[in-house]
Chains A and B, each alone.
Chain A
Amino acid sequence: EAGVAQSPRYKIIEKRQSVAFWCNPISGHATLYWYQQILGQGPKLLIQFQNNGVVDDSQLPKDRFSAERLKGVDSTLKIQPAKLEDSAVYLCASSLIARVFPTDTQYFGPGTRLTVL
């Protein structure tokens, strides 16, 4: 079974530029997550989708970050304009379904390492 795919793997941009990341979850997984992982820290949730609807975006800096999941499969995360503090690894994860008890297992992609100069 193919895992979570992400691209690009690395991106270097200057501050105030825009950038987009792409994620393709495991086939059949209804729930998709975007996490931000700053160096030396654990992943922090940015946004959670259930199919193509947003379940939780309370931690997403909406003035500069946006995300969409058209057709309930692939997803893109965009930053515009980027700031120095956005330098991090952006991880995508998926799970079969999250709205059941207990919480379902999340599978992570390899991440995109973003450097903002």
Chain B
Amino acid sequence: GENVEQHPSTLSVQEGDSAVIKCTYSDSASNYFPWYKQELGKGPQLIIDIRSNVGEKKDQRIAVTLNKTAKHFSLHITETQPEDSAVYFCAASTPFYGGSQGNLIFGKGTKLSVKP
């Protein structure tokens, strides 16, 4: 089955700097890669996702890149702000017709701290 590795486990940056979180996946059939932000005491919130037919997607200060050949994808946050501090999870999913149920397999998370 699918396995998702996420690095680093913790990341501390100064306000205004960029932050990069990387994930690798094992199943070449995976075709959907969402990123979730989880604040303390709350459920994960989708911040951006990418599907396997594109290599990059941007939404204001957040971007995700996907390298299908190398089976890795990354989250890039520019001009970080203190409110970006949270735990970020990457996930991967295979399509239902691929034999799985289209379920999300999550990485272990990255705790991002943005210092003012």
Contacts and interface: CB of A to CB of B under 8 A. Distances in A.
Interface of A: 4, 6, 33, 40-45, 48, 55-56, 91, 93, 98-111
A93 B106 CA distance: 14
Contacts of A55: 101
A56 B101 contact: yes
Contacts, number: 71
Interface in B90-113: 91, 93-97, 101-104, 106-109
Query: Top 9 A-B pairs ranked by shortest CB distance?
Result: A42-B106, A108-B43, A103-B32, A56-B101, A103-B93, A103-B102, A101-B95, A98-B102, A108-B44
B43 A4 contact: yes
Contacts of B102: 98-99, 103-104
Q: Interface size bucket, B side?
A: 20 to 34
Q: Which of B31, B97, B101 has the most CB of A within 10 A?
A: B101
A45 B103 contact: yes
Contacts of B4: 42
Contacts of A104: 102
A88 B16 CA distance: 34
A109 B43 contact: yes
A103 B41 CA distance: 27
Contact of B44 (A43, A45, A99): A43
Interface in B2-53: 4, 6, 31-32, 34, 36, 41-46, 49, 51-52
Interface of B: 4, 6, 31-32, 34, 36, 41-46, 49, 51-52, 89, 91, 93-97, 101-104, 106-109
A41 B4 CA distance: 12
Contact of A91 (B6, B43, B95): B43
A48 B107 CA distance: 19
A111 B43 contact: yes
Nearest to B49: A105
Contacts of B49: 105
